[in-house]
Amino acid sequence: MSNTELLFKTPADAEWWRSSVIYQIYPRSFADGNGDGMGDLLGVTQRLPKLAELGIDAIWFSPFMKSPQKDAGYDVADYCDIDPLFGDLNDFDALVAEAKRLGIRIIVDLVPNHTSSEHKLFKAALAAAPGSPEREMYIFRDGKGENGELPPNNWPSVFGGNAWTRITEADGTPGQWYLHIFDSSQPDLNWKNPKVLDFFDDVLRFWLDRGAAGFRVDVAHGLIKREGMPDIEVADTTMGGAKPESEMTLEELEIANPYWGQSGGHEIIRRWRRILNEYDDRVMAAEAWVMPLSRMANYVRADEYHQTFNFGYLETPWDRDKLEKVVTESLVEFGKVGAPSTWVLSNHDVIRHATRMAYPLDKLPKQGDGIGPNNPQPDEAMGQRIARAASTFMLGLPGGAYIYQGEELGLPEHTTLEGKYREDPTYFRTNGERVGRDGCRVTLPWEAGVNESNGFSSTGKSWLPQPDSYRKYSRDLQEGVAGSTLELYKRLLKVRKDLGLGAGDFRWAPEYQDKNTLAYINSGVLVLSNFGPDAVVVPAGEVLATTQHDLLVEGELEHDQTVWIKL
């Protein structure tokens, strides 16, 4: 049972990022300014006032750099230019200027683990000889077997299949293999080569000089591969041989996952932090999928990243006890290194939480695999209810909060997208067995029924078609409508800002909870969630925000609802 001690206290004069609400834009799908069906920077700039109304502090953009788009821009061919799909550098400058006017900072996605195979560095590596400095920028190895016909080790690609591809040398003979933890169009860089570090120093400075508030760093836990790149040991689960990851030591975790979370990568982060420190108040947030949270916290020590995405929280289902445990663990573990926790429920890689949180846990596909027409279909109404309750619980917590575009509309996952529209490499590398992440990347509905894409573009075009259900979630139908998810989010962000909850002090409130409810107090605001099944009486105090629109009338909080009360 929780006690009433203060579990987390925000330091005085906390920097902006310790309490910020950062909104993720997936540029392909936010808003289309030129009518070609693909979102772009112009579209974002036009819609920026809507985000200012929502009450966010910053935007993190998924990549918009030049790219052949084999992994929707996470395959960068030129780090210092904008892909023509999204506009050009002038559009970026205009966006930053307009955002600044509205008090919004712009965070750029940095993709350092790999380049596109179209990057000039990789082309040079292919043209050069084995062992050359050009090859040393990447991870090339001779194959195993008599004629080098077998991959150098047994590492699998995250997107399915093998993590190695064999090249044909300049003279036409079968040659070396290169490593790609993701798609074969995404060769991994060699971060043990100082030239790679130098190259990225310039990339960082390029965007910082251009007014970016900082970086979200892609695959931050993957840059350093284990020395010698040993095979992954296939776990022997017979006779209780293989331990679950939760019971492994750090060393065992590093051996079990030789390309994730190796302890060697931290000098790189410190070097980047020093660069950021040359500027005013810029930030870096790590995408580091390493568990447990005590290990993830190593990425946010005082001279490393400012923030790291709390994937432990993201992966926690709508379950009272599990939520209590992960919040405590987050505040304690990040607190130990002096960092704020972050809170996040959705992004462009996972099933949207309005679908995920109401989906049967035993049938939920693995992170990144997506739900397709052949999977059981979700309960949409239950998803709406739980997602609103979960977001309202989350946005009262102290620390940095992330919102993924569309969650403020309550958008569910597109779970019936036909194969012919899919673009995620996972779908192709697994022959459709894993449908992948397109279902959370569908374009946003802005104005219901104005055209086929509900105003995402002026022409109705949309690179991924919206499901029929998106029409009713359109922004204009929710704007100014009491009880809508959009108005709920606006209210939550306003109260959060007005009362300084992001920079608040947290304690559990056992005096307000029972075995079906969870309650905490942040800076004098009680946040109470009911996990059901019965309604509970709402404690006295001013209701600041609630997922249950009629709460004031009823005076009771129903199941899967959350309320904020000023005590």
C-beta of 56 vs 111, nearer to ligand GLC: 111
> What is the crossing angle of helices 380-394 and 485-498, to 10°?
10
Q: Minimum CB separation from ligand GLC for residue 391, in Å?
A: 21
CB 210 within 8 A of CB 96: yes
Active-site residue list? 218, 278
CA distance 60 to 43: 15
Q: How far is the CB of 289 from ligand GLC (least distance, A)?
A: 8
- Cα 266 → chain centroid: 21
Find the shortest distance in angstroms from Cβ 63 to ligand GLC: 8
What is the residue type of 184? Answer: S
Nearest residue (CB) to ligand GLC, 426 versus 548: 426
Contacts of 401 (CB under 8 A, 6+ apart): 20, 21, 22, 342, 343, 344, 394, 395, 496, 502
Cα dihedral value 219, 221, 227, 230, nearest 10: -70
Residue number of the CB atom closest to ligand GLC: 74
- In the complex, the residues that contact ligand GLC under the rule CB under 6 A are 71, 74, 111, 182, 218-219, 287, 348-349
CB of 60 to ligand GLC, least distance (A): 11
Nearer to ligand GLC, 111 or 397 (CB): 111
Shortest CB 183 distance to ligand GLC, Å? 8
Shortest gap between Cβ of 180 and ligand GLC (angstroms)? 10
Strand partners, 170: none
- What residues have CB less than 8 Å from 295, skipping those under 6 apart? 250, 253, 261
Q: Which is nearer to ligand GLC, 134 or 287 (CB)?
A: 287
**Buried residues in 73-83 as b, exposed as e (16+ CB within 10 A):** bbbbbebebbb
- What DSSP string runs through 466-490? PPGGGGGG-HHHHTT-TT-HHHHHH
CB nearer to ligand GLC: give 60 or 564: 60
Shorter beta-carbon distance to ligand GLC: residue 323 or 440: 440
Cα 65 from Cα 414, distance rounded (Å): 26
Q: How far is the CB of 206 from ligand GLC (least distance, A)?
A: 20
Three-class secondary structure of residue 40 per DSSP: coil
Backbone phi and psi for residue 252, each to the nearest 5 degrees, phi listed first: -65, -35
- For 75, half-sphere exposure in the C-beta direction (CA atoms, 13 angstrom radius) is 20
Buried b / exposed e over 287-309, threshold 16 CB at 10 Å, is bbbbeebebbbbbbbeebbbbbb
Task: Give the nearer residue to ligand GLC in terms of CB position, either 368 or 524.
Answer: 368
